[in-house]
Structure 1
Amino acid sequence: MKCPNCSSSNLGKIGMNQYYCWNCFIELTLVEGNLSLNQVEEDGSLTTLNDLFDENQLKAENNGF
């Protein structure tokens, strides 16, 4: 598995179908074969990063999930 943002394989599992990249500090959620990327804000809220990537980059199989 690798992060589509930084290509790091330093991912940790934080929940069912949820992962965290310890290199670029984003949360990845696996939904129906696609990844959803979120930045965790200081107050704990999530900001989506999906609009920064094209569909192919968010395909789970392309990232080893």
Structure 2
Amino acid sequence: MRCLNCGSNHLGEIGPSQYYCWNCYVEIKKERHLYDVAGLDRDGTLVSLNDLFTEDERRVE
């Protein structure tokens, strides 16, 4: 699996179907048929980055 944001393969598993990219610091969560992508805000809350990707880019293969 590669990061949807930067293409890196430096991903760590942080939970069931949840990954963290050590290169660009985003969290990728595998949902039923789409990946959910989130980044950390300055205050530590997760912010959705899904609007940066098309549905085809987020589709689970």
TM-score normalised by L of structure 2: 0.91
Q: Higher relative CO (CA 8 A, sep ≥ 6), structure 1 or 2?
A: 1
- SS in structure 1 opposite 2:30? strand
The answer for the alignment partner of 1:29 in structure 2 is 29
Q: Tell me how far 1:34 sits from its aligned partner.
A: 1.1
- SS in structure 1 opposite 2:51? helix
Q: Tell me how far 1:11 sits from its aligned partner.
A: 0.4
Q: Tell me how far 1:60 sits from its aligned partner.
A: 2.0
- SS in structure 1 opposite 2:2? coil
Offset from partner CA, 1:15-34 (integer Å, 9 cap, x none):
11110000110000000021
Percent of pairs with identical residues: 44
Instruction: Read off the aligned partner of 1:56 and give its amino acid letter.
Output: D
The answer for the alignment partner of 1:40 in structure 2 is 40
Kindly tell me the number of residue pairs found equivalent between the two proteins. 61
The answer for the alignment partner of 2:14 in structure 1 is 14
Gap regions ≥5 residues in structure 1: none
Structure (1/2) with the larger helix percentage: 1
Superposition RMSD in Å: 0.9
Gap regions ≥5 residues in structure 2: none
Q: Tell me how far 1:42 sits from its aligned partner.
A: 3.3
The answer for the alignment partner of 2:58 in structure 1 is 58
Q: Tell me how far 1:44 sits from its aligned partner.
A: 2.3
TM-score normalised by L of structure 1: 0.86
